């Protein structure tokens, strides 16, 4: 009886200190981050775009998948950015597009981080031949024209989509474009963590390799993984936009890149309908820029030696 009480108390104490540590590091993080003006600007812009994405149905004047005007209308009071080739409102497409572009970017970044994370953990933990093979492969992959391979992979796979949805296929193809950086980062963290005393203790207590990797090393690598998800959303969004622009993707899912694709194939550029292709590109640029600015702030926090002087 007394034993369980004691164990219970210990758990409470442990939890409290861990929570305290998280709070401390959050405070420290905010101190560094809030000192960086451009990172704050980035965060503000990103928050606004996130809000637009979340509350799209309340903000958008129309349903972007319903014909609400004549085809190819110029901007007017009824349609602030005009209409597309089938008479759907472009402003509404743009607002709903925030959801799709952000979501695809985010999920692809998570998948890329998972792939890179697992490879990095294995490579760093086992070392030797495993490490050699994985790292050589990573090097080779880094030197490839990534977009070209992503295009090839997506173009081949789109014919028989994974899980029956083209969008999943596109996400996987995008993720394969950007896992290699994560693998290197996680590997270097793993190399450091695996030499720490608690890993040795865990091994002495008879923990399996699997348990050591996922219970002991992974939690220590998780801040890096979180940051890498965030810093990969921007490149994932750019890749998604490029694929959609080339016409690889689900034609019924209107991301910002897909809007530009339709504008191009319906000759909006040569006929001067700027309201169709300028706004979506601007939205991509601003969103990606805000994420880059946030990333720079995060990097400064993680690696204090970097002083970029922004």
Distance CA 76, CA 102 (A): 28
Tokens of 69: 């005007």
Q: What is the CA angle 148-99-109, rounded to 5?
A: 45
Burial of 167 (0-12, 13-18, 19+ CB in 10 A): buried
Check residue 129 for interaction with another protein (CB under 8 A). no
Among 242, 253, 266, 299, binds another protein (CB under 8 A): 242
Site string for another protein, 212-241 (x = CB under 8 A): ----------------------x---x--x
Q: Which stretch binds another protein (CB under 8 A): 182-190, 192-200, 218-226, 277-285?
A: 277-285
- The position carrying tokens 């400064």 is 300
Kindly write out the interface string for residues 157-196 of this chain, putting x where it contacts another protein by CB under 8 A and - elsewhere: x-xx------------------------------------
Among 168, 264, 266, 299, binds another protein (CB under 8 A): 264
**Min CB(50)–another protein separation in Å:** 17
CB of 266 to another protein, least distance (A): 13
Q: Min. distance of Cβ 189 from another protein in angstroms?
A: 22
CB 276 within 8 A of CB 268: yes
Cβ distance to another protein smaller for residue 9 or 136: 136
User: Taking a C-beta distance cutoff of 8 angstroms, is the pair 116, 80 a contact?
Assistant: no
Q: How far apart are CA 222 and CA 295, in angstroms?
A: 16
């Amino acid at each position: 009886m007394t034993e369980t009480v004691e164990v219970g108390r210990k758990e409470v104490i442990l939890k409290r200190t861990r929570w305290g540590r998280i709070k401390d590091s959050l405070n420290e993080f905010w101190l560094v981050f809030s000192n960086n003006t451009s990172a704050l600007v980035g965060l503000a812009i990103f928050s606004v775009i996130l809000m637009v994405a979340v509350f799209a149905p309340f903000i958008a004047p129309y349903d972007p998948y319903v014909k609400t005007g004549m085809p190819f209308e110029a901007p007017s009071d009824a349609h602030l950015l005009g209409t597309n080739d089938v008479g759907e409102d472009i402003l509404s497409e743009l607002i709903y597009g925030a959801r799709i572009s952000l979501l695809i970017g985010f999920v692809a970044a998570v998948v890329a981080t998972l792939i890179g994370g697992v490879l990095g953990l294995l490579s760093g933990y086992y070392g030797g031949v495993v490490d050699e093979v994985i790292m050589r492969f990573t090097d080779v992959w880094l030197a490839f024209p990534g977009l070209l391979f992503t295009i090839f992979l997506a173009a081949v796979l789109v014919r028989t989509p994974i899980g029956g949805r083209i969008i999943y296929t596109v996400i996987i193809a995008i993720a394969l474009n950007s896992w290699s950086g994560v693998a290197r980062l996680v590997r270097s963290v793993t190399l450091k963590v695996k030499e720490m005393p608690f890993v040795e203790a865990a091994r002495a207590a008879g923990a399996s390799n699997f348990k050591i990797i996922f219970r002991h090393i992974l939690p220590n690598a998780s801040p890096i993984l979180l940051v890498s998800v965030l810093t990969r959303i921007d490149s994932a969004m750019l890749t998604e936009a490029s694929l959609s622009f080339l016409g690889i993707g689900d034609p019924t899912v209107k991301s910002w890149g897909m809007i530009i694709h339709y504008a191009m194939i319906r000759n909006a550029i040569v006929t001067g309908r700027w309201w169709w292709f300028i706004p979506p590109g601007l939205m991509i640029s601003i969103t990606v820029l805000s994420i880059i600015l946030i990333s720079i702030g995060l990097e400064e926090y993680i690696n204090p030696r970097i002083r970029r002087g922004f």
